[in-house]
Chains A and B, each alone.
Chain A
Amino acid sequence: MHELSICQSMLGIVEKTMAEHPNATLRRIFLDIGKGSTVESTLLSEAFEVIVSGGQYEGVELVINDIPIAGRCRTCERDFTYEEFALGCPSCGSTDIEIHSGLELDIKHLEIDED
């Protein structure tokens, strides 16, 4: 699976960002991961532990905010959220729906100790 390479891309961004704060210590990394994205949060956390162990970011905490799949029904015009993709609007059953969140793979911010 590609959680390993997603994690490496994420750490690439972290390293570039930390280079701008040379005297700081990284504490926590905050991600938004959509439940409808191709990335499994638990696998990503595991990949993270494997990659950082023994390195400069060992002990850093990865905080993953799972974003539910949310959309709007074009028939009854109600908003809805799903835990998983489902067939149609949960209110009226219409299949004419649009999904507007739940596919995120974003790095939001870092928490650092400045010393």
Chain B
Amino acid sequence: MPKVDIEKKILSENDLVAIENRRQFADAGLLVFNIISSPGSGKTTLLEATLDRLADKVKILVIEGDVSTERDMDRVRAHGADGIQINTGGGCHLSAKMIRDVLDGLGLDTADLVFIENVGNLICPSTYDLGEDIRMVLLSTAEGDDKPMKYPSIFHEAELAIITKIDLLPYLEFDVEKVGTEISVLNSECEVLKLSALKGEGMDAWIEWIMKRLEMKRAARPAAGE
């Protein structure tokens, strides 16, 4: 029977749009995060706490992905972010095209940082490149310390893992060291930070991490007339 070769990634179309997005972000000199976790791990709370510490120093845009409602966008707006809410209407992840469709009119040129809060889900979003610089995963202490091996794909893909809600550690059986080891087995390059967005512990290191990466990104930027 005649054979027609294809040899493509199934998501090659998404990947192409992600490349365009990445170029557009780079042209605007932006550092872009794609934040992935289960629902309730503390993505929006981390954004609120981050905005409180950075909004007067750098211009931050937030793209909120949720199945429905504007609630998370309202929350981060109250902490000084501009941005836009995307409702996927049932879809379990953001795609590069959904991001592309909201970029016009976001004011990329005047911003420094973009945080994309993906739909709460530890599986599907890890497969879709959005054009971000940094894919990061949040794991809250309340979810249990067995998650990296249960959801290997996202930990394999992430550049940064943040263990959130560490203020709850005294009340839980959560082995931080074991989680660190499992993550490094899946991805030896993945950096791990621990923090409580609510109580503030560990937030300074996270803010430093962001600023360091922002400087690296700016230094790498082709001279744009200044």
Residues of A within 8 A of B (CB): 1-2, 5-6, 9-10, 12-13, 17, 21, 24, 27-28, 31, 36-39, 85-88, 95-99, 103, 105-114
Contact = CB atoms under 8 A, between A and B. Distances in A.
B10 A85 contact: no
Contacts of B224: none
Contacts of B8: 13, 106-107
B156 A103 contact: yes
Interface in B1-49: 1-14
A99 B9 contact: no
A10 B3 contact: no
Contact of A106 (B10, B182, B185): B10
14 contacts: A2-B92, A2-B123, A5-B91, A5-B95, A21-B4, A36-B152, A38-B124, A39-B127, A88-B185, A106-B10, A110-B3, A111-B1, A111-B3, A113-B1
A112 B124 contact: no
A12 to B, nearest CB: 7
A105 B152 contact: no
A10 B127 CA distance: 14
A36 B9 CA distance: 15
B7 A2 contact: no
Contact of A114 (B2, B13, B126, B152): B2
A85 B127 contact: no
Given A38-B123, A87-B185, A1 B92 contact: yes
B2 A10 contact: no
Nearest to A6: B10
Contacts of B186: 85, 99
B87 interface: no
B156 A99 contact: yes
A110 B153 contact: no
A98 B152 CA distance: 13
A78 B111 CA distance: 48
A2 B93 contact: yes
Contacts of B156: 36, 99, 103
B6 A2 contact: no
A9 B7 contact: no
Nearest to A87: B185
